[in-house]
């Protein structure tokens, strides 16, 4: 097995960055396009503690993934509450449980993601309007994506983007992410003024932000 780092050169990169490739655990080093081999080798050597933490995190995620089951009556979360998985002939729906057409594990994953995306679109459409209206905020469009590390974003045009994975978490945590992105309509940065806006919309945001950071591996495990 080749465990040597994968070097990715980027014209937009100004600083070196490290990540672990999810399919095989190899270290990926992203560097400015003009970085020399000597510079890259020194950076890797000088950041071993950081790289070790990334590898440990990858191993924890992999361990959680191995223990995940996609069998009949396995439980999956929706807004923080567990619901059982049920196999059907053709139905793809949620009704006090996840009902998906029978198939192998990969097919079941695809069906579940489709259902989660549908439920996410419904929830975010409703909740974004409710919270925005309460604070006299106006956004443009809502898009549901599949990011596993960036839970939401807000563009300069007022478009809101959310990961469908958020719908697994408790409602108050999901609503904090909505508040976070809506606050960007007022402050497109992470300045002190931005966090004041977040607190105005979601007074307990620190608790929910801490929840996101502590539980991120658990909620990404099955993908």
pLDDT tens across 148-195, in order? 667 889 999 999 999 999 999 999 999 999 999 999 999 988 899 999
Domain boundary among 66, 91, 110: 66
Specify whether 102 is located in the same domain as 139.
yes
Any domain includes 146: yes
Query: pLDDT above 90 covers what percent of the chain?
Result: 56
Average pLDDT over residues 42-60: 86
Q: Is residue 124 part of a domain?
A: yes
Look at the chain and report how many structural domains it folds into. Answer: 2
At 12-34, the pLDDT tens digits run 788 888 888 766 778 888 888 88
pLDDT greater than 70 at residue 135: yes
Q: Are 32 and 80 in a shared domain?
A: no
CATH number at residue 140: 3.30.2010.10
Same domain, 62 and 111: no
Question: Is residue 139 one of the residues assigned to a domain?
Answer: yes
Token reading at 181: 């992105």
- Per the prediction, the chain carries an average pLDDT of 88
Same domain (yes/no): 120, 182: yes
The reply to whether 119 falls in a domain is yes
User: What pLDDT, on a 0 to 100 scale, did the predictor assign at position 223?
Assistant: 57
84 and 13 both lie in a single domain: no
DSSP character string of 80-127: TEEEEEEEESS--EESSSEEEE---HHHHHHHHHHHHHHHHHHHHHHH
| 178, part of any domain | yes
Q: Is the separation of the CB atoms in 186 and 197 below 8 Å?
A: yes
158 CB contacts (<8 Å, ≥6 apart)?
138, 139, 140, 185
Domain that holds residue 20: 6-66
| Whether 95 and 118 share a structural domain | yes
pLDDT for 66 beyond 70: no
Residue 1 pLDDT greater than 60, yes or no: no
C-alpha torsion angle, residues 81, 86, 90, 96 (rounded to 10): -40
For 79-110, write each residue's pLDDT tens digit.
Answer: 999 999 999 999 999 999 999 999 898 899 99
Q: Is residue 200 part of a domain?
A: yes
- Do 91 and 126 belong to one domain? yes
59 and 91 fall within a common domain: no
Do 188 and 84 reside in the same domain of the chain?
yes
Helix pair angle (48-66, 37-46), 10° resolution:
70
Task: Assess whether 45 and 91 both reside in one domain.
Answer: no
Whether the pLDDT of residue 10 is over 60: the answer is: yes
Look at residue 1 and tell me if it is in a domain: no
Residue 188 is assigned to a structural domain of this protein: yes
Q: Are residues 46 and 121 in the same domain?
A: no
* Residues 55 and 82 grouped into a single domain: no
CA 105 to chain centre: 21
pTM of the predicted structure, to 2 decimals = 0.73
């Amino acid at each position: 097995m080749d465990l040597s780092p994968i070097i990715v050169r980027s014209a937009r990169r100004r600083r070196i960055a490290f990540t672990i490739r999810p399919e095989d655990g190899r270290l990926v080093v992203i560097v400015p396009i003009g970085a020399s081999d000597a510079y890259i080798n020194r950076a890797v050597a000088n950041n071993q503690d950081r790289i070790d933490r990334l590898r440990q995190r990858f191993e924890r995620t992999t361990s959680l993934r191995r223990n995940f089951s996609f069998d009949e009556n396995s439980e999956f979360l929706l807004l923080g509450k567990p619901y059982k998985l049920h196999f059907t002939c053709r139905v793809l729906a949620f009704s006090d449980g996840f009902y998906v057409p029978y198939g192998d594990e990969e097919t079941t994953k695809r069906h579940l993601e489709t259902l989660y995306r549908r439920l996410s679109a419904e929830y975010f459409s409703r909740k974004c309007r409710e919270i925005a209206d309460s604070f006299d905020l106006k956004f443009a469009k809502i898009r549901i994506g599949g990011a596993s590390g960036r839970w939401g974003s807000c563009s300069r045009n007022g478009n809101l983007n959310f990961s469908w994975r958020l719908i697994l978490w408790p409602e108050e945590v999901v609503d904090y992410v909505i508040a976070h992105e809506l606050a960007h309509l007022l402050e497109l940065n992470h300045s002190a003024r931005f966090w004041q806006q977040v607190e105005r919309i979601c007074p307990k945001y620190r608790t929910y932000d801490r929840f996101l950071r502590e539980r991120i591996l658990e909620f990404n495990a099955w993908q």
